Amino acid sequence: MDQMSSHQQLRVLVEQLQREANIDRMKTSDAINHLKEYVREHQKDDYLCHPARNPRANPFREKTLCQII
């Protein structure tokens, strides 16, 4: 019985490794280029690059004051 569970565990492991081996992967250099393109396209809408004149429009602003202070 113990060997059977070991055999089943190995079968599950092999199936998992086969699924992982079949995943389509992208080269890191291609992923970096896609990421850089995305950042360039969305840079104009990024508050950290172009802060809004109205402080309430800042999505990173604390909504309430700290209760400890």
Q: Tell me the H-state helices in the chain.
A: 2-21, 28-42
More confident residue, 66 or 42: 42
pTM: 0.49
The CATH number, out of the four listed (4.10.260.10, 2.60.120.460, 3.30.1330.60, 3.40.50.300), of the domain defined by the range 2-52: 4.10.260.10
| Phi, psi angle pair for 46, to nearest 5° | -85, 120
Residue 18 has a pLDDT of: 97
Confidence at 3, pLDDT banded by 50, 70, 90: low
| Phi, psi angle pair for 36, to nearest 5° | -65, -40
Checking if the pLDDT of 55 tops 60, the result is: yes
Supply the DSSP symbol for 8: H
